[in-house]
């Protein structure tokens, strides 16, 4: 589809790469209109680098988006018109969105792999009947322990 469009000189599909840091440093925006994504590590990586991300509301990471970033969530990834409108919204206020994402980025970077592993260990070593649903969700989300 891209090969036949006016964008063929501006869009490249890279496939697998280990140059994620360099690519994100050069990016202004990440767009991930997935139908389903259990979490969305690619989105978290972009956000942690300060890159705004438009992502499907049904992706797991969407649960972590604060209210100030909710306009970057796509309710329906199949709705091209909505995606275009959100791209235009982002484009009209690039600095505004970058500033909002930088605040969120700081929050996400606090919850690193070590803390995530500690929380999974905490859950795995508890009697599941003694853990409330709230504790389970909070622990996995990195809210409290």
pLDDT digits 0-9 by tens, 19-75: 988 999 999 999 999 998 888 889 999 999 999 999 999 999 999 899 999 999 999
Domains of the chain, CATH where assigned: 2-110 (3.40.50.2000), 111-145 (no CATH)
Identify the band that residue 128 occupies on the pLDDT scale cut at 50, 70 and 90: low
Residue 141 is predicted with a pLDDT of 56
Q: Around Cβ 39, how many Cβ atoms within 10 Å?
A: 13
Q: Around Cβ 55, how many Cβ atoms within 10 Å?
A: 28
**CA angle, corner 77, sides to 1 and 61, nearest 5?**
120
pTM of the model: 0.74
């Amino acid at each position: 589809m891209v090969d036949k469009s006016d964008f063929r000189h501006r869009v490249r599909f890279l496939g697998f790469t280990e140059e994620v840091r360099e690519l994100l440093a050069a990016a202004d925006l990440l767009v991930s209109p997935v139908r389903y994504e259990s979490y969305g590590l690619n989105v978290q990586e972009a956000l942690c680098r300060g890159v705004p991300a438009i992502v499907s509301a049904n992706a797991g990471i969407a649960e972590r988006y604060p209210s100030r970033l909710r306009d970057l969530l796509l309710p329906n990834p199949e709705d091209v018109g909505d995606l275009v409108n959100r791209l235009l919204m982002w484009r009209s206020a690039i600095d505004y969105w970058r500033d909002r994402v930088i605040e969120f980025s700081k929050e996400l970077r606090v919850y690193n792999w070590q803390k995530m592993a500690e929380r999974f260990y905490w859950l795995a070593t508890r009697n599941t009947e003694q853990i409330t649903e709230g504790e389970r969700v909070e622990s996995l989300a990195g809210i409290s322990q």
